Amino acid sequence: MNKIKFLASIAFAFIASYSFSQGCMGGGGDVVGVHGFIQPQYSYYLNGTDADCNSLDQNNFNFNRARIGVVGEIPYDIEYYFFIEASSFKSPAELPHMLDAYVSYTRFGKWAKISLGQFKSPFGLEQNTACSGLFTVNRSEVTAQLAGPQRDLGVLISGGDNESLLKYSVGLMNGTGMNVVEDDNINKHIVGRLVVNPLKFLSVGGSFRYGKINPTDLTEPLNEIMRYAGEIHVHHNGILFQAEYIQGQDELFSTTRIPIYGGCGGIVGFDTKQPGTYTKSGLMVMAAYKTNWNVEPVVKFDYWNSDHSVSDATTNYLTFGINYYVNDYSRVQVNYVNVQESVAEVNDMIVLQLQAKF
């Protein structure tokens, strides 16, 4: 029943926002747009065979993402952005949920926009690439684990754009992730990203995060976490090259549950760690070429080391993909992902995804 009520509220919001944009009802702004996209997909998991040579392969149809929202302006100097994820596959609770909801003050132009609400953390290249614009179906594991929480609540100051010499974002955020009712301690996380565009086809940048998280025993001191990232993006004559390195350090003063992220930044579990300093890191390198026939081959290498202090904590992901752009709003993506772990396991996958934007 709760799912039915929630989906009904989404439908009502869509109808209401459409009415506002058509001038049928009194609204707050002159410019209102309804936007979204859906990504139905088919996945085939190559899991090998059991002791009796029976196949362990699995396959399923699902929705990777199904999003709808409203974006608009209110005279003068106010913008708003509100999006819902309607796909239950993207939530550990298997429920639709709010993704982004923030209001921005734009009086200072593109150089100092101030936003308050829930939004993506301003950390990393791949994380801040729109889900509808990713060149592979999924983001890399290092982005999922070290750039998270992908979405959070807080205040953000940002400026510049892809045409400017500089582009920056600095946020003061809870650090507990999206849709968490309240922060679990009085400290906030500082997150920031700076990108320099020295040439029209080249950009380089860096990101950082510093914050504190609660220990398992709340009488113990707060733990410190630090994240650093460097990125490069080259796009020239249809050739695309991207690379990103992220390193994290957790300074734990007592036994602590460390979040494990998945999906679009939601917490899917916890890993209990003893007191100590833990370093983890990863690298993403990707190349693609957009041909004149709207076909785009892609290859991506993704390395993830979840703990530098142990020898069996690394995983490599090698993705081979083909993107076909039907038009400016629709595309087909096919990915084959080869997974190589420190402890060998058969778990490659093939993913077919269709996307339609509106």
> Mean of the pLDDT values across residues 248-258?
90
Q: Is the pLDDT of residue 14 over 70?
A: no
Share of the chain above pLDDT 90, in %: 65
- Per-residue pLDDT tens for 213-241? 888 888 888 999 999 999 999 999 999 99
Query: pLDDT class for 29, splitting at 50, 70, 90?
Result: low
Q: What is the pLDDT of residue 289?
A: 98
| Residue 200 pLDDT greater than 90, yes or no | yes
Q: Find out whether the peptide bond into 325 is cis, omega within 30 degrees of 0.
A: no
Q: Which domains does the chain have, with CATH numbers?
A: 2-357 (2.40.160.10)
Query: Distance between CA atoms of 20 and 79, rounded to whole angstroms?
Result: 15
Q: 87 by DSSP, 3-state: which?
A: coil
Picking from 320, 297, 123, 143, the residue whose alpha carbon sits closest to that of residue 211 is 123
Residue found by looking up tokens 């309804």 in the block: 34
Residue type at position 266: G
pLDDT of residue 96 exceeding 90, the answer is: no
Asked whether residue 8 carries a pLDDT value surpassing 50, the answer given is no
Using the predicted structure, report yes or no on whether residue 40 has a pLDDT greater than 80: yes
Spell out the residues 6+ positions from residue 214 whose beta carbon is closer than 8 angstroms to its own. 184, 185, 222, 223, 256
Rounded-to-integer distance, Cα 89 and Cα 99, Å = 14
- Mean pLDDT over all residues of the chain? 88
Query: What's the token pair of residue 11?
Result: 């439908």
Residue 22 confidence (pLDDT): 41
DSSP string for residues in 230-244: EEEEEEETTEEEEEE
Bridge partners (DSSP) of residue 299 are 287, 320
Buried b (16+ CB within 10 A) or exposed e, 77-101: eebbbbbbbbbbebbeeeebbebbb
Three-state SS at 108: coil
Beta carbons within 8 Å of 32's beta carbon, 6+ residues apart = 17, 20, 21, 70, 71, 72
Distant-in-sequence, close-in-space partners of 51: CB < 8 Å, separation ≥ 6: none
| pLDDT (0 to 100) of residue 214 | 86
Write the pLDDT tens digit of every residue in 123-134.
999 999 999 999
pLDDT at 92: 62
Separation CA 304–CA 141 (nearest Å): 6
Res 31 pLDDT > 90 = no
* Averaged pLDDT, 152-164: 94
Beta strands 266-273 and 276-289 are: unpaired
Round to whole Å and give the CA distance between 148 and 139: 12
CA 269/CA 255 separation, integer angstroms: 16
Q: Which of 209, 203, 189 is nearest to 160 (CA)?
A: 203
pLDDT at 72 over 90: yes
What value does the mean pLDDT take over residues 29-44?
87
**pLDDT class of 262 with cuts at 50, 70, 90:** low
* Residue with the larger pLDDT of the pair 145 and 92: 145
Report helix, strand and coil shares of the chain as percent, to nearest 5.
10, 55, 35
